Structure 1
Amino acid sequence: MHPSDSCMNLWRRLWKYLLIAVVLYATVFLNIDRIRTFSTESSLVQVIETPPHPNWSQNTTYSAQFKDQRHSYQFVTIPKKQCSNNTKLQITILSTAGNFEIRQAIRDTWANPNNSKHVENNDIRISFIISAAQNEFLNSSIQKEIEKYDDLIVTDLYESYELLILKVHAILTYKQNFCESADFQLKIDDDMAVYMEGLYDSLSEKKQSSVDAISGIIWRNSPPVREKKHRWYVPMTLYSQKHFPPYIDGPIYLIGKNVIPKMLDATKNYSQWIIEDVFWTGILAKALQIRQINWANHLLRYVIELVPSRLKCLNGKPLIYAVHNMKGPQMIIDGYNKLTGVKCQ
């Protein structure tokens, strides 16, 4: 081998080692902040020094047990202000970590104690449920939100549509452990505007609610989707019937306190579903023979239904309790104003 060839091979090896060193530096040192964030994510939402409830601890683990899967989760933090002896309705609003402005619009309108005597008196207890954020900035903002409003239930569940069934499990588990005496649990999405007084009044009407029933818009004869790429795909191995049993529309449903422990216990007999409302209010409701009460005359599914012909009165009170598909904070505000602005004789 020519001496010049040996020198050339030596330089090539040196350049190779130098390149490896540069890549390692870029990977480790330039991403050190990201590594630190990842390693400390679980501690970003701080522990509340004074436990808000004797049943609560950050170390308490709850289990969602299905026939084919088991999920353990924790409540990272819960509101300090809890249900009282006079709390009749607990409302838990499904939200996500980044929906700050939407939560604020709800706080400013239908969840505001200045706009509802029942919220002010704690007859109704309102909280948002979210999953812990995956980055430091969001978790820092959530911590400030907790300190200011004290209305967030934060879990360590992974945030995804496919696991929404677990978030509802957490809602019902929270109800059983921290607000058991309340007669009703309302599960509601954060894209709804609500006429709170009408909703609360319905709790005293036997035709509208029962501690042994589920209330909401009832869907009947809905066929399962069999296309594998569809988000609501249901394989024959999970459910082989031609139609789902009657179930309650997912954006809002009211569950009586007597059926909640039965539902939580019954999950172990069924495989895990993706379609949360079909599972909780249809599959389990049928198996447990839970009565369903139809609120189709009192709920609007789309903003285009906010028209005078729908916003009428019944027995001197506004007919509509809530409207769905309010996309963004301004629509929530506008929808609330329309629902509460109905003039009844």
Structure 2
Amino acid sequence: MLVEANPYQTIRELSVALRMSQSTIVRRLKSIAKAQKIGLKNGLVVVFFILSAPNSDNELLAVQREQKLYGDIIMSDLVESYDNLVHKVHACMSFFTNYCREVSFLMKADDDVAIHFDRLLDSFQVNSDSEEKLFCSILNNTEPIRVLNDKW
């Protein structure tokens, strides 16, 4: 793991973990960096990038350069594959359990998800008496699409 031992003690409200593949880590989106700066300024949002093990020494060097610049990479020793996604999520949750105990919210999103932090933060109300919860949307009046030869 590239993140150093608990440099995030001031995180209070919300941490966001985004999964990015090795090929996209060097193409950091300006909007994410801007949102992170806004959140960090208020002590509300920290963005981390969860990566699988690099495929080459060149990729490892690129990730290490990114880490030195931004300090926001969690790197697992997992091979990048669809079957390992659940293990990457587990690595993310383990990191937050070990290093971010004071965080009220954890959100995991993939690299193809757009997050409007200003709108998101407005919708959260921190209640210290609340139990653990999972927030999601429900699509009403929908049915699964069944294809017999398809995995899903």
Q: Is residue 143 of structure 2 the alignment partner of residue 215 of structure 1?
A: no
**1:154 alignment partner AA:** M
Structure 1 residues 86 and 171: CA distance shift in structure 2, 3 A: closer
Q: Is residue 92 of structure 2 the alignment partner of residue 175 of structure 1?
A: no
SS of corresponding position for 1:125: strand
**1:157 alignment partner AA:** L
Q: How does 1:220-235 map to 2 (within 5 A)?
A: 222-223=143-144, 225=146, 227-228=148-149, 230-232=150-152
Of residues 64, 74, 96, the one that matches 2:21 is 96
Unaligned runs of at least 5 residues, structure 2: none
Distance 1:93 1:137 in 2: 22
Distance 2:69 2:31 in 1: 15
Of residues 113, 136, 140, the one that matches 1:192 is 113
Structure 1 residues 120 and 231: CA distance shift in structure 2, 3 A: farther
Q: Is contact 1:102–1:190 with CA below 8 Å preserved after alignment? A: no
Q: Is contact 2:14–2:45 with CA below 8 Å preserved after alignment? A: yes
CA offsets, 1:191-240, max 9 Å, x none? 2332212211211178xxx6522112224665485634x242xxxxxxxx
Unaligned runs of at least 5 residues, structure 1: 1-75, 233-345
Distance 1:98 1:200 in 2: 30
TM-score scaled by length of structure 2: 0.81
Deviation at 1:102, TM superposition (A): 4.0
> Who is 1:327 aligned against?
none
Structure number with greater Rg is 1
Number of positions where the alignment pairs a residue of Structure 1 with one of Structure 2: 149
Q: Is contact 1:82–1:179 with CA below 8 Å preserved after alignment? A: no
Q: Percent identity?
A: 25
**1:99 alignment partner AA:** T
Q: Which moved more, 1:194-203 or 1:76-85?
A: 76-85
> Who is 1:121 aligned against?
42
SS of corresponding position for 2:49: strand
Which protein has greater RCO, CA pairs closer than 8 Å, 6+ apart? 2
Deviation at 1:86, TM superposition (A): 4.8
**2:137 alignment partner AA:** I
Q: Is contact 2:5–2:99 with CA below 8 Å preserved after alignment? A: no
Deviation at 1:126, TM superposition (A): 1.4
Q: Is contact 1:88–1:183 with CA below 8 Å preserved after alignment? A: yes
Compute the RMSD of aligned alpha carbons.
2.6
**1:203 alignment partner AA:** F
Q: Is contact 2:48–2:74 with CA below 8 Å preserved after alignment? A: yes
Q: Is residue 52 of structure 2 the alignment partner of residue 131 of structure 1?
A: yes
Distance 2:27 2:6 in 1: 22
Which runs of 4 or more aligned residues in structure 1 lie more than 4 Å from their structure 2 counterparts after TM superposition? 219-222
Distance 2:35 2:131 in 1: 24
Structure 1 residues 85 and 93: CA distance shift in structure 2, 3 A: same
